[in-house]
Structure 1
C-alpha cells in the first residue's frame, strides 16, 4: 500500500489522526471530483471489481445458516459517543474505546471506531447508499469497525480483504406527524447547530447510547456481502452487513441534515446528496427462512394436495 492510500485509510477510519486536506481530492458536488469521476481520478481502488454500495435484491440472497446473531459490546453505554464532526462530506461520530461486536459469521471480534451518515436532500431526495429491491431510503447510517487483531491499525485493516466490518442501517421517515422523534435522534441532531461549517466538531455529552440510535431494528436479520469502502480510496476490505429493519425517524429531524450543514464555511453550499451511486451487484447472503415459515409453507402444500386429491 502506498503512502497516499495509507494516509487516507487513517483519515477515514481512525478518530485521532490529523489528515492533510489535500491527500486525496474527492467530493460529491462537483463533476470533476464526484463519485462518477473516482474510477478515473482515484483508480486504486475505486475502479475495482468489489465495490460498494450495491442494490440488494432480497429474492436473490442465498441462505446461509452461519449468519447468526451478533454480540455487541458496550453499545448500551451512554458514554460511548465522544465527538461529532462535520467533515465537509458527512457527519461523523467518534466512538469511545471498548465498543465492538463479534458473531454474525465474522472470523473474529471487531472494534467499532466511528459511525457516519449518508443522505440526499431531506425526504424529497432519498440518499441511502445501498438500495433494497431498488428502493433508496432517505438516509443510511454506517458503523465502521476494524478487526480486533489489527489493534485499530487502519493501514493493516484496509490491506486485509476482511479487515473492516461495516454495519449499514437504513433510516426511514415516520409515517405520522411526529416531530423530534425518537428522543435519541433528537439528542444527536441537537449538535448539528454546533457543527454547521465543514471542519468543525463538538464533544458529545453522556446521556444516550448507540443502542438508542438503533431503536426498532432487529439486529438478527440482515444481508451480508463482501465489498469496499464507499468513499475514496474505496479499499476492497469491507465485510458489509446491511440490516433489514429500518430506523424510523421523524421527518423534521431528517430534514436538518440537508438544511443546517455546509461543506465549508457558512457561505458554501449546503451538504446534500452525500452518497455514492450504486456499483455492480455482488453475491449476497442472508439467514435461511425461519422454521415457522417453512412449516407454514409445508402445511399449505399439504392442504392444496388434499384439495386436489379430493377433486380427482
Structure 2
C-alpha cells in the first residue's frame, strides 16, 4: 500500500503531467504543440514573467552570502528511489520516497520533501539537450530533482505558492569513457524495461541519489526564482542550478535518445525534450560570494608589500 501511495504522489508531479484542471495538449517534437506554442496554448502561465529555463550569464551573477551549504537527507539511501517510468512519452522519471528523502539549507526558506527526478536530453552526440545554459553553452543533458515544501499538503497547493517547489538542476557532461560511472550504467540498464509511454519498472534498492551525483561539489550553485519548464509552467519554483556537471560517458547518454519512445508503438524516439531559454525580465541570478584571495595569497601579497616598502626606505 505504501509503495502504491508513493507512486500515486509521483504521478501527480511534473515535468510530464499537466497541473490539475489543465487539458491542453503539448509536446516537444511537433510544430503544432512544441515549446514555441506554449505561451499561446497555455497562456495563463507559460507567457509569465518568471519563466524557466534561462541562460545564466556569469558576468551578471550577483553574490548572496545566504546561499550556504545544503543539508541532504536520505540521498545515500538506495531504497528511496522507487520506480522508473516512461512518463507520458516525454521524459524518464524516477519516483522518490519523500518520507526518506528531503533537502533543506542552501538559502531555502524551510524544509522540502524530495518527490521525483527526471531528465532532459538532446539527440545523443549530435545535439545537446540541457534546459539551462551557461553563457550560451548547452550541456548534453540535465537532471532535475523536484522537492515540495514539507508544510504543504499536495502538489496542487504547492503550485499556488511562489516558493512551493525547490528544483535542483544538475548539468550532465559527456566523457569518452565507456559505461561510466557505474551508478549511471546501473540506472540506464533499466531504460530497456520502460521504452514505451507509460511503462514502469521497480528500481528500489539498486541506486542511491548520492551515487548519481558523485563528483559534484554541491556547495557551488546558482539561484533564481522561476517556473516549471513544462506546461502549465507554474511560477512556483526556487531554482538551484549546480555549477559542477555530472560526468557520464557518451555511450550511456546516447541510450536515452535511442531507447525511449514517445508512444506505445515504438515509432518515434524521445529526442530534444527541453524548453528553450526564457527572458529574465529583470530577475537576478545569485551565487555564493567568491573570495578574492586565499589566506596564503593574502600573506604573499602582504610580504611583497613589506618588501617594497623596506626596499625604498
Structure 1 and Structure 2 fold alike (TM over 0.5): yes
| Equivalent residue, structure 2, for 1:5 | none
Structure 2, unpaired ranges of 5+: 1-9
Q: Residues 84-233 of structure 1: matches in 2 within 5 Å?
A: 84-87=84-87, 88-96=89-97, 97-151=99-153, 153-174=154-175, 176=176, 178-233=177-232
8 Å Cα contact 1:102-1:110 kept in structure 2: yes
Displacement of 1:215 after TM fit?
0.7
Structure 2 vs 1, CA of residues 213 and 308 (structure 1 numbering), >3 Å: closer, same or farther? same
With 297-306 and 41-50 compared, the bigger mean Cα shift is at: 297-306
Structure 2 vs 1, CA of residues 307 and 256 (structure 1 numbering), >3 Å: closer, same or farther? farther
Displacement of 1:59 after TM fit?
1.9
8 Å Cα contact 1:13-1:154 kept in structure 2: no
| Equivalent residue, structure 2, for 1:68 | 68
Distance, in Å, in 2 between the alignment partners of 1:259 and 1:310 is 69
With 284-293 and 53-62 compared, the bigger mean Cα shift is at: 284-293
- Is residue 73 of structure 2 the alignment partner of residue 54 of structure 1? no
Displacement of 1:205 after TM fit?
3.5
Q: Residues 258-269 of structure 1: matches in 2 within 5 Å?
A: 258-269=257-268
Deviations 1:110-164 (A, max 9, x none): 001000000000122000000011110000000001100004x111101000000
Structure 2 vs 1, CA of residues 276 and 20 (structure 1 numbering), >3 Å: closer, same or farther? same
8 Å Cα contact 1:185-1:253 kept in structure 2: yes
8 Å Cα contact 2:86-2:199 kept in structure 1: yes
- Is residue 274 of structure 2 the alignment partner of residue 275 of structure 1? yes
Distance, in Å, in 2 between the alignment partners of 1:202 and 1:21 is 28
- Is residue 244 of structure 2 the alignment partner of residue 242 of structure 1? no
SS at the partner of 2:39? Answer: helix
Displacement of 1:207 after TM fit?
2.6
| Equivalent residue, structure 2, for 1:3 | none
Distance, in Å, in 1 between the alignment partners of 2:69 and 2:113 is 17
| Equivalent residue, structure 2, for 1:45 | 45
Distance, in Å, in 2 between the alignment partners of 1:297 and 1:35 is 50
Aligned length: 299
Distance, in Å, in 1 between the alignment partners of 2:299 and 2:24 is 56
| Equivalent residue, structure 1, for 2:36 | 36
Displacement of 1:199 after TM fit?
1.3
Structure 2 vs 1, CA of residues 14 and 224 (structure 1 numbering), >3 Å: closer, same or farther? closer
| Equivalent residue, structure 2, for 1:284 | 285
Distance, in Å, in 1 between the alignment partners of 2:164 and 2:73 is 19
Displacement of 1:80 after TM fit?
1.1
Q: RMSD over aligned Cα, in angstroms?
A: 2.7
Structure 2 vs 1, CA of residues 298 and 61 (structure 1 numbering), >3 Å: closer, same or farther? farther
8 Å Cα contact 2:172-2:248 kept in structure 1: yes
Structure 2 vs 1, CA of residues 294 and 277 (structure 1 numbering), >3 Å: closer, same or farther? farther
- TM-score, length basis structure 1: 0.88
Distance, in Å, in 2 between the alignment partners of 1:201 and 1:186 is 18
Structure 1, unpaired ranges of 5+: 1-8
Structure 2 vs 1, CA of residues 39 and 295 (structure 1 numbering), >3 Å: closer, same or farther? farther
| Equivalent residue, structure 1, for 2:82 | 82
